[in-house]
Structure formats: C-alpha cells, structure tokens
Structure 1
Amino acid sequence: MEPIYQFATPQSIENLKAEQQKRAATQQVNTGKCCEAAEAKKVNSSSTLLALSFVLLTGLFANFAANAQTAMVVHTNNKTAKENKADVAIRSLDDITFPEADFKRGAYLKLRTVYVDVPVSKFRLKPFPANSSAETRAELDFLLHLQKNRNAEAINRTETMAAVYFDPLTTNPADADYTRNINSLFYIGRDLGPWFNAKQLPVTTQVLQNVIQDATYYIFSLKADFSRPRPYQLDARLENLEAPGHASYPSGHSSTSHVHAYILSHIFPEYKDHFLGVASEMAFSRETRGVHYPSDSEAGKEFARQFVEELMKSRKFRTDLEAMKAEIVQVRAANQLTKK
C-alpha cells in the first residue's frame, strides 16, 4: 500500500529557498544595470557642460551615484523584507527536532542483536515530510480531525493498545511488568485461539523475544537518527494522550506490530491479511492518541518489511523459525475442538 501522503524532504525545501535567492540576486543585478545605463545617457547629453565644469560635475556625479546605490539597497531590502521573514519562519520550523534531553531510551541503542547484524543505514526509509511542508500540515490537520471525533470508547481502546509493546530489558519474571511485557508478544496472533500464549509456547516466546530485541535496536537507532518531533511539538492544539520519551519516526508500535504480522504470515499465510489488519489498527491507534503522524505509521510498516527480509537471511533465525512453527502446529492441533 502506498503512503497516503507524498513526501517532501528538507532538501527540497532548501532547493526552493536557493532558487528564490537566485531570482532575487538576478533582479538586483538587472536593477543596477538599468540605473547605470540611465546615468550614461545623462552624461552624454551634457558633454559640453561637463567639459566646462569637469571638476564640479565629477563631484556631483560621484555623490549622486552613491545616493542612488544607497536608495537601491534600501528599496531592495524593503521589497524582500517579507520574503526574508518568511524564510526565517520556515528555517525556524524546520529546525525543530525531538529534544535530545527528552530521549529516554538510550539503553536501547546499546542492545546486542541476536539474528540481524547489519548497519542501521541498511534500512532505507524515505525522509519524513519537512516540518514546514504542506504534507506535514495535512497530517497535523488529520490528527486534529481524529482528536475532534474521538470519544471515551476510542480512548479506552487506544489505552489498551498503548500498553502492547515488548521491552527487551524487562525479562525478569519477578518484575512487576513482566506478564504484560511477555503477553505483548502474542497480541497480533491472539485470534488464533486461547492456546496462543507464552505458557503453552515457550519456544515461540523465546524466538519472538529475540526478534523484537533486534528490531528494537534498529527502530530506536532510526528514531535517534531522524529525530522527528512529535506532532504536538509542532501544533499546540493537539491534545496528546501521552508523551513518549523518544522521537516520532518511525512509529515503534507500527514497526513491531508489522514485524509480528509478517512473521506469523510465514507460518499462517492464509491469515496474512488479518495479521496485517491488526497491525494497521495498532498503528492507527497511535495517530488517534495524537503521538504519531500517518507517515510514521507507514514508515514503521516499511521498516518491518525490510527487517523481516534481513531476518530471513539469518540461518540461525530460519532454524529457530522452523522450531517455532513446529511448536505452534503441535499445540494448535492439541487444542483443536473435536467435531461432534
């Protein structure tokens, strides 16, 4: 599925500014040439007088030229004052990034991966729309529309999904958050049946833990590299329902949910559309909460696609995936209802 929005990049904004400045410079040079031509004509028509009063007229001409140049500069500055102010506003808006001091997930940037070992740059996500672009404005307006129409039921539903994430640093069963953390690994496939859980699928649990640990390292490395501000940091009218301690692009919930969906689709290809639908619903919930742009969600899905491609290149992962599949098939068969 193609992204909803066409992406304008910060570089395209810079190119536009450069073109505007080039046109302004050309106009200023042409204005100077016109002034010089007019002065030359005036001097030629007064050649006799100039011959008689050379010294006096030379001084007057020099004074006039200096005044004309000053007037031209003042005129040019007045003409471009609004344009310069607009350029400053654009630059100021595009200078906004996620505050480095608010980044609370530095430990994820030091995670050791299990299956995937490639540079972060291997994952080629298109740049997000510039803060000053029409695309970003359209995204912010869409989020304001969602905010206007969200009700208590929608908010409660997004609260539930907000708690669906796996923290690779929370693996101690004695931790108060351990149960929620492990159960998050089974959210996307929960409709397979009540048997699809960590207790009955210990091999699957370990494989998914390894996968999301790898994905988390790359997701948060990309977030740190892009440093996109959250939507509510660009538009104060957005009433965000939470304030995540990390940058916006790509969406972590969209990324990991789609990773789960693609992996489960290798085992149950007939349910691929369903798994991807659940992942998309998860991503959309983050937009409803006012913490992600739609382009963050699309980038998360694209990251997941590329990430799973890299996973499938790992011999260790392919071996573990087969073990995971065998366990799931066995447990599913044992839990099938007997026809009467």
Structure 2
Amino acid sequence: MEPMYIYATPRQIAQWQQDQKNKHNTQHTLNQQDLHTSCVCHKETKQSLRKSNHTTVYLLLVSLLTALTSFAQSSQEKSIVFRAISPASDHYKTLSAADATARGGEMEAITFPEKDFSRGAYLKMRTVYVDVPAAFFKLKTFPANSSDQTRGELDYLLELQERRAAGDEALTDTLAIVYHDPLSTNPLDPDYTRNMNSLFFVGRDLGPWFNPEQLPFTSQVLQNVIQDATFYFFSLKAQFNRARPYQLEPRLKNLEAPGHASYPSGHSSASHVHAYLLSSLLPEYKEQFMRNAYDLAFSREVRGVHYPSDSEAGRVLAEQFVAQLLKSKKFRADYAAMKAEIERVRNRQSLTLQK
C-alpha cells in the first residue's frame, strides 16, 4: 500500500494522480509542438549568437535580470497560502530601511531569559558535514530593541494580528509542527512520523512519492543536513539572545511561547535550507520551494513569535549554510547518491502512471 503523505489530503493526492494521467495523455501532441518550436527557436538563436559574438554578456544579463526579478517580488508574490494577509510590498526590505540603532531606555535591557532557554542540548550536537565556527556565518546584529526598525516591526506585527482570521491561525497551528528534531529519530517514538515527514514538507509539490519511505537515503542525508543547520542556528540564537516580540510589546497576542531566543528564526532557517538545497537538485521547482519556505517563515510572524528581521536572517543564514555545505567533500558524495535516488524514484513513479 502506498504510504499516505502526511502533508497532503487524499483529495490532493487523487487530483495529483489524475493530473499526471492527463498530462501523459496529451504529452505526445505537446512534445511535437514543442519540438517544432524549439528547433526553429534554437536555429534562430544560434544564428543570432554567431553574429553578435556576445554569448557571455548575454548569459550574464539573463542571470542579472532573473536575480532582479526575484528581488523585486512582493511578499504576496512570495506566498502560496498567506497571500491574503501578506503585504503588497516586500515587507522585509521596507522595514529594514528604518534606523536600527538604539534610542536608549529600559527596553535595551530586555533579552530572552537564559533560564527559559530549553534547547541547550542542540548546542552540544556534533555536526556531520559542516565544520566551521558559528561566527563563520555573517549575520548582522538584529535591530536594537528601542530602534525605529524594531518599533516598525512591532507595529507591523500588531497590524498582522488584526488581519489574521481564525483560518490563518489554524493554518499556523499546522505549520508550527513542521520542524525536524535531530535528537528524536527513534522509529518507536510516537512523534517519529511527523518528525521525518517535516524533512519533506518544502518539497511536497513534487507529489506523494516524495516521502521518507520511498526515499530512505535522501531522508538520512536531510537528517544530517538539518542536524548541522540546527546546531548553527541555535548557536546563533544563544549568541544573540534576542527577546521575542511579545516580550517588548504586551499588546501582541502570541499563539505560542517558544523556549528559545528569537534571532534568527529556526523555522525560516530550516525551511530555506531545504528550499536552497532542493532547488540545486530540482531547479525547475525552485519557485515552489522558495514559496513554501516563505510561508513557513511568515507563519511565525502571523503567530506573533518572530520579527520579520528574524525570518529574513534565517533565509540569509540558510543561503550561506548551503553554500558551505556544497563545499564539503563528504556531503558532495552523499549529494550525488541522493540525487540518483530521487531521479530513480521519480522516474519509476512516472512509469507506473503511464501503464
């Protein structure tokens, strides 16, 4: 029996399977059309490039335009499930433009209480692939508690609190449990299924085949990756020791009270690690991966437990972490084997649907 994908409903799975069958039924016609168009375009492109002799410049311009298009996305455009309440601008960029320096006063003394930091065990974990000090990752200091930027972020969270509906809150309840605990990998643990499936959440658009049962080696590699990432983002949390938003703004009605400091966001860090890594494996799905990661990060703002600057710092950390990860000789060997497993299972799934 095919394992039920924990983050997809039976209706979604059935729809995905039907879409695959429909796609197969029309593929021959589309391929013929695409082949003709591709041949014509390819011929014209080759002639144009021969005449211009500026292939390198052309590719650089395409790359630059792609980067600028991605940078210009609004928060609504980044989202899949929170478009209705995501700002129409890029709120990370807008809020970060304010002055981040301290204005002084009692607020500057507020930090996350050391006695409440309940994830000290993560700081003692051994990493698998990446072996650099936490200070290697360059995150700028978070905006001061009394700064204009922090005040702007708190006002934004209050506005978001007013806009969130019961359905938004319920959705954030679901997303709150999408995290992988590296210290909880015993198959007999009642939390085991949720824990393992969290590793596959960002890639859920790939279909029901993308799960730990069908991809056991990929599951192990992702466990190792998130173990490393967790060590680093919790080390940075302990280093910065930023107070949670509701510790500075009593009008915030936070939907939970995490037992660790705020900066950077763990959900944002882990989900963006998955997004960047999966994008290197399956670049054609990059947009979906990044939107899923955005929604996980944004859900923490909706819950009132993270500042937007926490979310953005998590993304920046993830980008740096994956770049360092790809330099690891041990990881590159596992990366190749993981890629081969994904391609094999993906192709087998496709063949099954075509029968």
Report the TM-score range of the alignment, normalised by the length of the smaller protein. Answer: 0.7 to 0.9
Q: Deviations over 1:169-200 (max 9, x none)?
A: 00101111111000100000011010000000
CA distance in structure 2 between the partners assigned to 1:6 and 1:316 by the alignment:
40
AA aligned to 1:101 is: K
Query: What is aligned with 2:257?
Result: 243
Query: What is aligned with 2:246?
Result: 232
TM-aligned CA distance change 1:222 to 1:7, over 3 Å: farther
Query: What is aligned with 2:297?
Result: 283
Q: Deviations over 1:218-238 (max 9, x none)?
A: 000000000000000000000
Aligned pairs, number: 263
Query: What is aligned with 1:78?
Result: none
CA distance in structure 1 between the partners assigned to 2:98 and 2:234 by the alignment:
22
AA aligned to 1:115 is: Y
1:274 positional shift: 1.4
Query: What is aligned with 1:117?
Result: 131
CA distance in structure 2 between the partners assigned to 1:171 and 1:104 by the alignment:
19
Say which of 312, 318, 321 aligns to 1:304: 318
The question of 1:3 aligning with 2:86 is answered no
1:92 positional shift: 1.5
Would you say the 8 A contact 1:3–1:298 is kept in 2? no
Would you say the 8 A contact 2:144–2:150 is kept in 1? yes
Say which of 215, 220, 243 aligns to 2:229: 215
Query: What is aligned with 1:139?
Result: 153
1:6 positional shift: 2.8
Instruction: Report the aligned-residue RMSD.
Output: 1.3
The question of 1:332 aligning with 2:346 is answered yes
1:203 positional shift: 0.4
Would you say the 8 A contact 1:241–1:289 is kept in 2? yes
AA aligned to 1:223 is: K
CA distance in structure 2 between the partners assigned to 1:259 and 1:116 by the alignment:
13
1:87-106 correspondence runs (5 A):
90-106=104-120
Listed as ranges, the gaps of 5+ residues in structure 1 are 17-89
Would you say the 8 A contact 2:202–2:271 is kept in 1? yes
1:8 positional shift: 4.4
CA distance in structure 2 between the partners assigned to 1:338 and 1:238 by the alignment:
49
CA distance in structure 1 between the partners assigned to 2:306 and 2:194 by the alignment:
23
Would you say the 8 A contact 1:3–1:295 is kept in 2? no
CA distance in structure 1 between the partners assigned to 2:187 and 2:285 by the alignment:
32
1:68-107 correspondence runs (5 A):
90-107=104-121
Would you say the 8 A contact 1:255–1:303 is kept in 2? yes
Q: Give the TM-score normalised by structure 2.
A: 0.72
CA distance in structure 2 between the partners assigned to 1:296 and 1:265 by the alignment:
22
CA distance in structure 2 between the partners assigned to 1:7 and 1:171 by the alignment:
43
AA aligned to 2:182 is: P
Would you say the 8 A contact 1:8–1:130 is kept in 2? no
2:105 is paired with a residue of what secondary structure? helix
My pick for the range that moved more, 224-233 or 270-279, is: 270-279
CA distance in structure 2 between the partners assigned to 1:227 and 1:6 by the alignment:
23
Query: What is aligned with 2:55?
Result: none
Q: Deviations over 1:19-50 (max 9, x none)?
A: xxxxxxxxxxxxxxxxxxxxxxxxxxxxxxxx
Query: What is aligned with 2:80?
Result: none
The question of 1:161 aligning with 2:175 is answered yes
TM-aligned CA distance change 1:214 to 1:7, over 3 Å: farther
CA distance in structure 2 between the partners assigned to 1:243 and 1:223 by the alignment:
15
2:292 is paired with a residue of what secondary structure? helix
1:339 positional shift: 4.8
AA aligned to 2:93 is: P
CA distance in structure 2 between the partners assigned to 1:3 and 1:114 by the alignment:
34
Runs of 4+ in 1 over 2 A off after TM superposition: 1-4, 6-9, 337-340
CA distance in structure 2 between the partners assigned to 1:338 and 1:229 by the alignment:
51
Would you say the 8 A contact 2:205–2:288 is kept in 1? no
Larger Rg belongs to:
1
Would you say the 8 A contact 1:7–1:129 is kept in 2? no
1:338 positional shift: 4.1
CA distance in structure 2 between the partners assigned to 1:338 and 1:310 by the alignment:
38
AA aligned to 1:289 is: R
1:3 positional shift: 3.3
Query: What is aligned with 1:273?
Result: 287
Query: What is aligned with 1:26?
Result: none
Would you say the 8 A contact 1:227–1:249 is kept in 2? yes
Listed as ranges, the gaps of 5+ residues in structure 2 are 1-70, 72-91
Q: Deviations over 1:47-79 (max 9, x none)?
A: xxxxxxxxxxxxxxxxxxxxxxxxxxxxxxxxx
1:152 positional shift: 1.1
AA aligned to 2:97 is: Q
CA distance in structure 1 between the partners assigned to 2:169 and 2:315 by the alignment:
23
TM-aligned CA distance change 1:7 to 1:250, over 3 Å: farther
